[in-house]
Structure 1
């Protein structure tokens, strides 16, 4: 299973999302992130990916969640989810991503992965969570999920 990260910069009850321009989830709003490279920790991946995708430097991102994505019967990704309240730089569009700020109440869930609406409220509140989300083999429809909160990392 491919280890990956997602990071959600948060400021004043707003979250920074990106509209992904290529790869898995193209066209959807997600958090900046990507695959963990050999020799990297998930935290190091988070810092690198946010810088690459939106030109923002995050400092001291906090791990708040982790989950597995399964497509059909195939485990696809194990994702470490971070929240960042300390960062520097102005988000900029890159070939990978178009960043946009959203109020917590106006997150565009209809343009995101189906599971996001289940766990993002915990991300916003700072509560930890762990989940497993099973989609059809194309990754289009969520067919099962498990979600636990108050997890220790």
Structure 2
């Protein structure tokens, strides 16, 4: 099975991380970083920025690759190559659940660990705390 390219984006503000609750599969009803499948001809960073804006209404910029996952085990019958980026955005922009996001919210790492999330999200949170947030 050929993997599908997908990207997601992490935005951190004041020690909180923006997550959306997914309205559609994969990861239906789970909290995750905004993201989704690549469109033909898109680079991973272009996918991350497009999906982020579609799902949150926030125009992000300056993507920096943070992680990569081969998600065959997380999605039975589907195989994704997920590239995760750290992004920046104007602090004036307000997150709203749009497109296939049922909800959007800002969470601390500890709050995220109590949510229903894919394993890749928790892995990223652990790395963020070690490498970026200084925990």
Match of residue 114 from structure 1: 119
Distance 2:37 2:107 in 1: 25
Does 2:42 match 1:67? no
More displaced stretch, 86-95 vs 29-38: 86-95
Alignment coverage as a number of residue pairs: 127
Cα shift at 1:7 = 0.7
Question: Does the 8 Å CA contact 2:54/2:99 hold for their aligned counterparts?
Answer: no
Distance 2:22 2:127 in 1: 23
Cα shift at 1:104 = 2.2
The normalised TM-score by structure 1 is: 0.73
1:32-67 alpha-carbon deviations (Å, 9 max, x no partner):
011111111111111111111110000102111101
Structure 2: state its 5+ residue gaps: none
Question: Does the 8 Å CA contact 1:67/1:79 hold for their aligned counterparts?
Answer: yes
The normalised TM-score by structure 2 is: 0.82
Question: Does the 8 Å CA contact 1:18/1:29 hold for their aligned counterparts?
Answer: yes
**More helix per residue: 1 or 2?**
2
Which residue of the other structure, out of 81, 86, 91, is the alignment partner of 2:89? 86
Greater RCO, 1 or 2 (C-alpha within 8 Å, sep 6+): 2
Match of residue 39 from structure 1: 41
Distance 1:94 1:51 in 2: 9
Question: Does the 8 Å CA contact 1:20/1:27 hold for their aligned counterparts?
Answer: yes
* Greater Rg by CA: 1
Structure 1: state its 5+ residue gaps: 128-153
Which residue of the other structure, out of 109, 118, 122, is the alignment partner of 1:104? 109
CA change 1:87–1:63 in 2 (3 A) is: farther
